[in-house]
Amino acid sequence: MKALLSRSLAVWFIVLLSFSSLAIFNVKAQPRTITVPDDHPTIQEAINNANDGDTIYVKKGVYIENPIINKTITLTGENKETTILDVIAGIKVKKDKITITGFTIYDGHDGISLVANNCTISNNKIKQTTHGMVIFGNYNQITGNIFELIGLSSAIQLNYANNNTIKNNIIESCVEGIQIWQNSNNNTITENTIINCQDTAINFQYSNNNKLIGNNITNCGLGTSIYGSNNNSIINNNYVNNTIQFSANGWYYLIWGNPRSNNSISKNYWNNYTGIDINNDGLGDTPYIIDDNNQDNYPLMTPFLTIEPSPSPSVDPTPFRFTYQVTIILGSVIILVILGILAYYKKYKRKT
């Protein structure tokens, strides 16, 4: 009888110990939500104490700092209008698969400097910085952001950046809108609204195979410029009241013996188009002439309808905390059960 009881207790001990180990492992692996300033007073301190996969939730307030993100985390502000980063150097992203959402970032050199891949930057407001967002990386999603009063360069600049999506952003009263520069290829620029830019709204330089689709470009010095770039598709965009609607001349590029750029420009709306549409198919019967070598053969008679950006929902950290706490409680209960069995077994041995 004693041997049987010993074997039974040993089996139960091994089983419970296995469950305990699994529970403890889950506690370690479960992503956490770290709240600023409740858990740490600054965003950078929260990043320093975070692990890959964690979420840093920043409550509303003004934070004077320049976070460097070198871990795969989600950085979420409580509300982009009231969660404010007053920066000098800006946010520097140095790790792949990072998400930043829900902040106002202002008064620095760069709003966000992104040297990474597969990141999502959404629902932020960047204003009164020298550069809005500078991207060196691939497969990033830049969506639903607002850029205002970017003072020296572009709101969004792509450098050696490929396969990125720039979508549903609003760029207003900046020096330049979006720059696709320095061998930035296969990017999609779509459904953005760019208004009142002093210089160029969208600028291609030495970049190929990009898609410019469904953007609203209004009251800028130059709507779109193409220089030394090929096989870009410019389709279904609205060009309204820009001082110069479109430039693809690139004369300086040509005098060095380089070939003329070759791009597809089609089915855009040009508010200064004077042609007619006799068959009422929505397309002008004559091309819109850009220059001697470029034209839109099928200009739209009315503006192309695009979808305005919609705000992203705020992230509630409560579910993450709940899961984490339940896992800890479960592990603690299992450990207590094991200790109870051991105590009972010890007491039984003394009696026998």
Assess whether pLDDT exceeds 80 at residue 337.
no
Q: How many other CB atoms sit within 10 Å of the CB of residue 80?
A: 23
Digit-coded pLDDT (tens) for 102-139? 999 998 889 999 999 999 999 999 999 999 999 999 99
Q: Break the chain into its structural domains and give their ranges.
A: 1-30+317-352, 36-310
Nearest-10 crossing angle of helices 2-29, 318-351? 160
Q: What is the mean pLDDT of the chain?
A: 86
pLDDT band at 336 (very low <50, low <70, confident <90, very high): low
- 156-163: list long-range contacts, CB under 8 Å, 24+ apart: 156/132, 157/131, 157/132, 157/133, 157/181, 158/184, 158/187, 158/207, 159/134, 159/135, 159/184, 160/136, 160/184, 161/135, 161/136, 161/137, 161/187, 162/138, 162/186, 162/187, 163/138, 163/139, 163/187
Cα-to-chain-centroid distance, residue 140: 6
How far apart are alpha carbons 115 and 105 in whole angstroms?
A: 18
- pLDDT of 279-327, one tens digit each? 999 999 999 999 999 999 999 999 998 655 444 444 444 444 444 444 4
Looking at CATH, the fold of the domain delimited by 36-310 is given as Pectate Lyase C-like (2.160.20)
